[in-house]
Amino acid sequence: MTTSTRSETQLRDQLCLLAASLFDRGVTHGATGNISARTADGGLLVSPTGTSFGRLDPDRLSRFGPDGRLVGGDPPTKEMPLHTAFYDTRDSAAAVVHLHSCHAVAWSMRSKVDPDNLLPPLTPYSIMKLGKVKLLPFFLPGDGAMGEAVRALAGKRSAVVLANHGPVVAATSLEAACDAIEELEQTARLALLLEGPPADGGFNALTDNQVSAVVEAFDVEWN
């Protein structure tokens, strides 16, 4: 087995292992969500259409060549436009994860949110791992317009949430992408737990100065 073959085998195994971890802990469910990773030759490994994160087969992952053509495995997720939009607009993207996670979807359905900065600054960690999260409008599942909406951001967001649908995160590795999308889901969960302000006027989010300090200290993309 060559080094490149061994590396791809490890990547396939890691993708399935991390996906199963998300599924087993209830971050995603059923046959929802999709995940992809950049291969050493510039191609992609992608979860096939209609598959569950809990039961991915490393040998059946959709395999795209560097030219974007499907060269092996099962047919890919119908959300490929989302994945390719992130890879094409963010040079640092080595993995993309899209979930239908419950709390992030619920938060996207609130009528009073900032679509340019969806998550309230409750902890420093969502800021560090995600930067500003953009709320995108509702699209039909599989609509190529979702990818165009991501492209319109010109690489300025590593994380978005599709309204009434779910979050999408790009990162520099599979592990980083999974960690970041979990941070997004847990921040949305925190926000929902704190919703319904008590008589004293609500919860104590980070101040603008505190947010700025986190952004500067951890070199966060924030514009």
Q: What one-letter code names the amino acid at 152?
A: A
Four-CA torsion 185, 197, 212, 150, nearest 10 degrees: 40
Residue by residue, DSSP assigns 209-220 as HHHHHHHHHTT-
H or E stretch covering 166: strand 166-171
Among residues 125, 156, 163, 206, the one annotated as catalytic is: 125
CA distance 194 to 189: 9
Four-CA torsion 137, 142, 144, 145, nearest 10 degrees: -10
CA distance 75 to 125: 36
CA distance 45 to 68: 11
Catalytic (active site) residue 87: no
CA distance 14 to 62: 15
HSE toward the beta carbon, residue 6, CA cutoff 13 A: 3
- As annotated, the active-site residues are 125
